Amino acid sequence: MLKKILKKYSSLKFKISPLFIVYALVFTFLRQTYEGLSYIIALIIHEFAHAEEAKKRGYILNSMNFTVFGASLKMQAQTMKREDERAIALAGPLVNLYLAIFCTALWWTFPSTYFFTIDFVWANVSLLLFNLLPVYPLDGGRILYTVLLKKLNAKQARKVLKISGYIISCILFTLFIIALILGMFNPSFLVVGIFTTLSTLFPENNSRYERLYHVGYRSEKLNKGIEIKEIAVNPQMTINNAYKMLSSDRFTCFVVVDKDLIPSCIIPETYIEQYYDKAHTLSDIVHKIPKER
């Protein structure tokens, strides 16, 4: 079983932040090795749940990065369905929920397992609650963004997500101060508050909210060929609406037609991705398309 898993993810590169190692050493120094180990195991399972869901849906995994705040996956692709984004984001928290419930259920049948699994249960519950916070780049923020896009455009959705991040940060800092006043020093509220604040102020430079998992085209499928779909559109169609029509199952080209339905230009989906934040309608990028197209 283990050999099969290792073979399946043999191409996946693992990157460990120095701070992650320091984090593990601190747990060891405080004689909380088992608690730290429980968290690390729960974190690895959480991330592999994301990886398994992504791989099942056809995405190529590049690397898994471990930092003091958790782990993240890097994948290849040009675009992905919103359903895929939500499913991949939900996979990690759902596995943590399952593990917490499963271990708790064991206590009723085998009470002796309580001592060995209590820390693991709390590690999974902590990861579940933390990752479901509606803050990018956490799973909760990614899920919220895809839900918001059903009613709002990308700019409005990002604004809501940003406000959500600030609200969560304020709540965490308030809880930290209240704990201090009550004589209870809880660094968790402070650390997570700093993380959510920085994530809200400085989203990843090389990623966009709409590119939730920084993914792209399935090069595996390109080797076998992938369907090309042409869609006739009005030049006044918004980039945001065009983006919603993209799918990881095909390569989409937008045929811009005039009022007489005469084609004037073909816009490959790569241009929709490239000018997503730089243009409003398709007419804004028509002149960017090479004449030979």
Convert the chain into a string of H (helix), E (strand) and C (coil): CHHHHHHHCCCCEEEECHHHHHHHHHHHHCCCHHHHHHHHHHHHHHHHHHHHHHHHCCCEEEEEEEECCEEEEEEEECCCCHHHHHHHHHHHHHHHHHHHHHHHHHHHHCHHHHHHHHHHHHHHHHHHHHHCCCCCCCHHHHHHHHHHCCCCCHHHHHHHHHHHHHHHHHHHHHHHHHHHHCCCCCHHHHHHHHHHHHHHHCCCCCCCCCCCCCCECCHHHHCCCCEEEEEEECCCCEHHHHHHCCCCCEEEEEEEECCCCCEEEEEEHHHHHHCCCCCCEHHHCHHHCCCCC
Q: Which residue has the tokens 């197209």?
A: 293
56 is a domain residue = yes
pLDDT tens digits in sequence order for the chain, 293 residues long: 545 555 565 666 666 766 666 666 666 665 566 777 888 888 888 888 888 888 787 766 666 766 655 555 555 444 556 777 888 889 999 999 999 999 999 988 888 888 888 989 998 998 899 889 998 878 898 899 888 888 877 778 888 989 999 999 999 899 889 988 888 776 777 777 887 888 787 765 433 333 333 334 445 556 667 788 899 999 899 887 887 787 766 788 999 998 888 888 899 888 887 776 667 888 888 887 776 44
Write down the pLDDT at residue 209: 34
The span from the CA of 160 to the CA of 154, in Å, is 10
Write down the pLDDT at residue 7: 59
Whether residues 120 and 265 fall in one domain:
no
Whether residues 232 and 104 fall in one domain:
no
Whether residues 59 and 18 fall in one domain:
yes
Q: Which residue has the tokens 């917490």?
A: 100
150 is a domain residue = yes
293 is a domain residue = no
Whether residues 176 and 282 fall in one domain:
no
34 is a domain residue = yes
Question: Max Cα separation, the chain?
Answer: 77
The span from the CA of 39 to the CA of 70, in Å, is 10
Write down the pLDDT at residue 230: 92
Q: Which residue has the tokens 């419930």?
A: 101
Q: Which residues touch 107 (CB under 8 Å, ≥6 apart)?
A: 113, 114, 117
Q: Residue 263: what are its φ and ψ, rounded to 5°?
A: -65, 140
Whether residues 71 and 172 fall in one domain:
yes
Write down the pLDDT at residue 138: 85
Write down the pLDDT at residue 291: 60
The span from the CA of 84 to the CA of 282, in Å, is 26
Point out the domain boundary residue: 144, 167, 201: 201
Residue numbers of the domain that contains 172 = 2-201
Write down the pLDDT at residue 188: 74
What type of residue sits at position 111? P
Q: Which residues touch 154 (CB under 8 Å, ≥6 apart)?
A: 209, 210, 240, 243, 276
The span from the CA of 244 to the CA of 26, in Å, is 45
Write down the pLDDT at residue 206: 36
Whether residues 251 and 111 fall in one domain:
no
207 is a domain residue = no
Omega before residue 235 within 30° of 0, cis = no
- CA-CA-CA-CA torsion sign (12, 142, 229, 253): negative
Q: Do residues 264 and 256 lie in contact, with contact meaning Cβ atoms separated by under 8 Å? A: yes
176 is a domain residue = yes
Write down the pLDDT at residue 179: 85
The number of distinct structural domains making up the chain is: 2
Write down the pLDDT at residue 6: 54
Q: Which residues touch 8 (CB under 8 Å, ≥6 apart)?
A: 55
The span from the CA of 48 to the CA of 37, in Å, is 16
Write down the pLDDT at residue 39: 82
50 is a domain residue = yes
Q: Which of 169, 168, 186 is nearest to 177 (CA)?
A: 186
Q: Residue 246: what are its φ and ψ, rounded to 5°?
A: -75, 150
Point out the domain boundary residue: 168, 201, 234: 201
